């Protein structure tokens, strides 16, 4: 069966033909019977799911609130976000809600003083939240550690003091190269607390990826771990961090004053005298109170690198004030989160989803967040369901790729567990096919839980297009922009394409958690996102709207792949391939994959003096070697399914490799209507 729509145009679920019904007033909704339960019934429903009365009755935000908020935000956007900001604590109030005078470098809550950690931790210590569970962590081997807000606060303060003791101050960068551990969360919060800028690097990334990010971020300190558990194996991490530092230019390497190493896997770990320090030694004897740095609203909170259309990843800067308002508002509205929830977002803290909805969002909301160290199928396919059951998870936020994986293992693993605590399900990262949506809804949510498909990006910082629990749902659609967000689907001239047509997804109004820019590269930020349609943010995604105004995201318009929901540029993969001595030139395209959504296929031209394949060299061996090479260079995220050797690559008149031609050949169809977008966009 076809799975998630791929990045190149096809596979979008047909728009359901239903009367326009979004945002109905509550009494009407209450009158509507829920007719879900079997797939047949769902099909008779023409795949429109009305919220259950009990969901509407219990929701923090009811349908009238949504209608009011949309109207309010349209008439007075600043007033709308100002109200959202008033739900948080500030050290000094803003002079202006939004300042677009230096657009596209928008500034939010200018003149205000704040610190997101004050809202995520400090303020809770003065209330009943103090002794509530903040964080439940589960290791892959089943060990658990839990922290109340007060305990988390003290851990963070100890580390904040330790970092200050190591000379880290306001504005310094701290790289966090960690698997999902409590210390990962401590490190993010401790850095932010003292005004440093954290930059997490996913633990699955290679030394080269880490080095590239360090070269740009120039960290004063790196926080890492000896090793961690994944799929029953111990994966060493500190040696990779060492290798990355060793390959930096000497002045930058010298700038890395310290490496703080968490002792997790009890491995023999070489420590560099004077530079490296064990985490437990660093925090030993540190006081459990620490001053929270008073930041300007626009001061950077973190840098997060993401793949784009060029070889080098871009470091997006997010600032304290705007980010905290956007994340807090979406946390409460989209997830309808209450203090009694057990919220499990399966993303790693190192990705943007982890920043916003594992760490900052849940903690600002005063709820309990769950963090899992290991592989979701370890030691058996029911691990996720067993965790939901044992911990009493109420809200599960995950990725379509994981849903597909679990779906493939069968509903019997789900059926073995009591999942009655669940009340909301949500996904992010790539399109979810109606098939996967329906499976999730039926087998995991037992027809009781809304499934919310949330669209956003590293750049947006917060969820942008998404249903709320009280919305009408169509499987596979992200429904509509949230209140305060304006989006449309347009052609290459910026004209709305109208229902049923594919086009570029644009955001037409700034929003609080938006990227403040690309670190060290104002020009790229301007060019990549704002140049094409002046005043609008161009997302790089292709979407279509249906007759009801619902949005269906189809995938990337540019040369960025979404492999298992992880963004990776074809340019990065091509650069990694080209660094192999046998490769003269190459091109990488995305091809659909039932499990990962998309994987890469590489076309390779060998160097002139390369022995002919089939004589001395076995083509399969060389292909395997190239796949391994890229994996070593970029990390396990970079999955190449197939390597094809060719005599040459198709090029246009200016010499640019035409990946579109390769794609059409590969997929046996014309990528026609997207071609102009694509050629223009890249």
User: Which residues contribute to the site for ligand WT7 (CB under 6 A)?
Assistant: 306, 352-353, 428-431, 453-458, 478, 539-541, 553, 556, 562, 567
C-beta separation of 514 from 322 below 8 A = yes
CB of 641 to ligand WT7, least distance (A): 20
What single DSSP character describes residue 499?
A: T
Q: Name which of 367 and 460 has its Cβ closer to ligand WT7.
A: 460
Where do the DSSP E strands lie in 153-214? 173-178, 197-202
CB of 352 to ligand WT7, least distance (A): 5
Cα–Cα nearest to 663, from 612, 610, 592, 596: 592
C-beta separation of 460 from 515 below 8 A = yes
Cα–Cα nearest to 262, from 230, 287, 237, 234: 237
Q: Name which of 264 and 532 has its Cβ closer to ligand WT7.
A: 532
CB of 568 to ligand WT7, least distance (A): 9
What single DSSP character describes residue 639?
A: -
Residue closest to ligand WT7 (Cβ): 458
- Which tokens go with 663? 């794609």
CB of 339 to ligand WT7, least distance (A): 25
Q: Name which of 213 and 556 has its Cβ closer to ligand WT7.
A: 556
Q: Could you write out the DSSP letters of every residue in 335-350?
A: S---TT-EEEE-S-TT
d(CA 655, CA 180): 44
Q: Name which of 24 and 428 has its Cβ closer to ligand WT7.
A: 428
β pairing state of 597-606 and 583-593:
antiparallel
Task: Identify the three-state secondary structure at position 23.
Answer: coil
CA 505 to chain centre: 18
CB of 293 to ligand WT7, least distance (A): 27
Q: Name which of 353 and 570 has its Cβ closer to ligand WT7.
A: 353
CB of 506 to ligand WT7, least distance (A): 12
The secondary structure element, H or E, covering residue 102 is: none
Q: Name which of 149 and 357 has its Cβ closer to ligand WT7.
A: 357
- Which tokens go with 544? 């279509």
CB of 592 to ligand WT7, least distance (A): 14
Q: Name which of 147 and 455 has its Cβ closer to ligand WT7.
A: 455
CB of 251 to ligand WT7, least distance (A): 31
CB of 562 to ligand WT7, least distance (A): 6
CB of 232 to ligand WT7, least distance (A): 27
Residue 596 phi, psi (nearest 5): -90, 0
Q: Name which of 227 and 429 has its Cβ closer to ligand WT7.
A: 429
CB of 621 to ligand WT7, least distance (A): 33
Q: Name which of 258 and 566 has its Cβ closer to ligand WT7.
A: 566
- Which tokens go with 271? 């420590």
Q: Name which of 194 and 543 has its Cβ closer to ligand WT7.
A: 543
**For tokens 């990843």, what's the residue?**
313
**CB within 8 Å of 284: residues ≥ 6 apart:** none
β pairing state of 314-319 and 300-306:
antiparallel
Q: Name which of 159 and 364 has its Cβ closer to ligand WT7.
A: 364
d(CA 599, CA 64): 43
What is the 3-class SS of 358-395, one letter each residue? Answer: HHHHHHHCCCEEEEECCCCCCCCCCHHHHHHHHHCCCE
d(CA 110, CA 89): 15
């Amino acid at each position: 069966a076809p799975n998630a729509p791929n990045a190149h145009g096809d596979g979008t679920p047909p728009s359901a033909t239903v009367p326009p019904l979004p945002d109905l007033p509550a009494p009407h909704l209450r009158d509507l019977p829920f007719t879900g339960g079997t797939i047949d019934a769902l099909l008779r429903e023409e795949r429109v799911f009305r919220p259950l009365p009990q969901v509407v009755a219990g929701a923090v935000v009811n349908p009238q609130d949504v209608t009011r908020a949309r109207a309010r935000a349209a008439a007075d956007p600043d007033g709308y976000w100002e109200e959202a900001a008033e739900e948080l604590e500030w050290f000094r109030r803003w002079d202006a809600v939004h300042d677009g005078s230096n657009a596209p470098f928008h500034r939010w809550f200018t003149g205000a003083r704040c610190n997101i950690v004050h809202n995520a931790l400090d303020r809770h210590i003065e209330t009943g939240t103090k002794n509530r569970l903040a964080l439940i962590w589960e290791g892959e081997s089943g060990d658990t550690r839990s922290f109340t807000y007060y305990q988390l606060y003290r851990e963070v303060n100890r580390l904040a003091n330790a970092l200050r003791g190591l000379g880290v101050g306001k504005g310094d960068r701290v790289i966090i190269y960690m698997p999902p551990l409590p210390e990962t969360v401590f490190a993010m919060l401790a850095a932010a607390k003292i005004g440093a800028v954290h930059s997490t690097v996913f633990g699955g990334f290679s030394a080269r990826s880490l080095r590239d990010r360090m070269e740009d971020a120039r960290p004063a300190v790196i926080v890492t771990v000896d090793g961690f558990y994944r799929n029953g194996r111990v994966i060493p991490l500190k040696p990779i961090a060492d290798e990355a530092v060793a390959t930096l230019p000497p002045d930058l390497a010298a700038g890395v004053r310290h490496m703080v190493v968490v002792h997790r896997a009890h491995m023999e770990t070489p420590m560099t005298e004077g530079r490296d320090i064990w985490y437990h030694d660093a925090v030993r004897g540190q006081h459990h109170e620490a001053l929270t740095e008073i930041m300007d609203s626009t001061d950077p909170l973190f840098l997060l690198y993401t793949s784009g259309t060029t070889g080098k990843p871009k470091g997006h800067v997010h600032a304290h004030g705007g980010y905290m308002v956007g994340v807090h508002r979406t946390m409460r509205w989209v997830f309808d989160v209450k203090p009694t929830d057990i919220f499990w977002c399966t993303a790693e803290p190192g990705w943007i989803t982890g920043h916003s909805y594992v760490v900052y969002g849940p903690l600002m909301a005063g709820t309990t967040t769950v963090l899992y160290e290991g592989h979701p199928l370890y030691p058996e396919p029911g691990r996720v369901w067993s965790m939901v059951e044992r911990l009493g998870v109420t809200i599960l936020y995950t990725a379509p790729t994981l849903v597909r994986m679990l779906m493939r293992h069968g509903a019997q693993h789900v059926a073995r567990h009591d999942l009655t605590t669940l009340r909301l399900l949500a996904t992010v990262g790539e399109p979810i096919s109606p098939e996967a949506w329906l499976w999730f809804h039926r087998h995991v949510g037992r027809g009781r839980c809304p499934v919310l498909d949330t669209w956003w990006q590293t750049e947006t910082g917060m969820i942008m297009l998404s249903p709320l629990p009280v919305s009408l749902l169509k499987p596979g659609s992200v429904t509509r922009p949230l209140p305060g967000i304006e989006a449309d689907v347009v052609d290459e001239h910026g004209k709305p394409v109208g229902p049923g047509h594919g086009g570029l997804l644009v955001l037409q109004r700034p929003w609080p958690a938006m990227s403040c820019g690309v670190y060290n590269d104002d020009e790229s930020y301007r060019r990549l996102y704002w140049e094409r349609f002046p005043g609008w943010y161009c997302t790089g995604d292709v979407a279509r709207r249906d007759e009801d105004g619902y949005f269906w995201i189809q995938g990337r318009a540019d040369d960025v792949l979404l492999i298992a929901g992880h963004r990776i540029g074809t340019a990065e993969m091509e650069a990694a391939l080209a660094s192999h001595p046998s490769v003269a030139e190459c091109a990488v395209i995305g091809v659909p994959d039932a499990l990962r959504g998309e994987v890469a296929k590489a076309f390779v031209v060998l160097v002139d003096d390369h022995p002919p394949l089939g004589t001395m060299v076995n083509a399969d061996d060389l292909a395997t070697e190239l796949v391994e090479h890229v994996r070593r260079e970029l990390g396990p995220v970079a999955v190449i399914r197939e390597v094809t050797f060719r005599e040459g690559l198709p090029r246009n008149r200016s010499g640019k490799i035409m990946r579109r031609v390769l794609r059409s050949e590969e997929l046996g169809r014309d990528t026609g209507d997207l071609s102009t977008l694509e050629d223009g966009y890249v």
